[in-house]
Amino acid sequence: MARHELIEERLTHSAIGAFYDVYNKLGYGFLEHVYTMALERELLARGHRVCRELWVPVTYDGAELCKQRLDMVVDEKLIIEIKSTLDLPKVASRQLYAYLRATDLSVGLLLHFGAEPRFYRIVGPRTTCIKNGGV
């Protein structure tokens, strides 16, 4: 059986590794900004470029309607959305998908620093891949 490559596979693998490293060191219970700062440090230590709290426009018929704030963009290729709630809100994956629609980026990671660490890999509308998630 042929192995299919995922979009930005190496980058997402590195980011997921960083996520688990942060979770294993901090555990559950902190607010989102604590995990965001720790993840940024971990990604920078791995040689990635990180842009936090990036505002991107949402347009309609060529006019800007509003701006959305992304938690993090890594290497100008990957959107990371971080949640630290006990239960992951149902809207969280839709939120990340909307961020992908508002940008030219193809893939995002939803990282849930909950009671159990979980990640979801979301592929944007400009690709031919299907949503892919996992633990």
Domain coordinates in residue numbering, the chain:
20-134
Average pLDDT for the chain: 89
Tokens of 133: 């998630």
More confident residue, 83 or 129: 83
**Residue recorded with tokens 């842009």:** 51
What is the tens place of the pLDDT at every residue in 90-122? 899 999 999 999 998 999 999 999 999 999 998
Which top CATH class is 20-134?
A: alpha beta
- pTM score of the predicted model: 0.86
What is the tens place of the pLDDT at every residue in 55-87? 999 889 989 999 999 999 999 999 999 999 999
Question: Using H for helix, E for strand and C for coil, what is the string for the chain?
Answer: CCCCCCCCHHHHHHHHHHHHHHHHHHCCCCCHHHHHHHHHHHHHHCCCCEEEEEEEEEEECCEEEEEEEEEEEECCCEEEEEECCCCCCCCHHHHHHHHHHHCCCCEEEEEEECCCEEEEEEECCCCCCCCEEEC
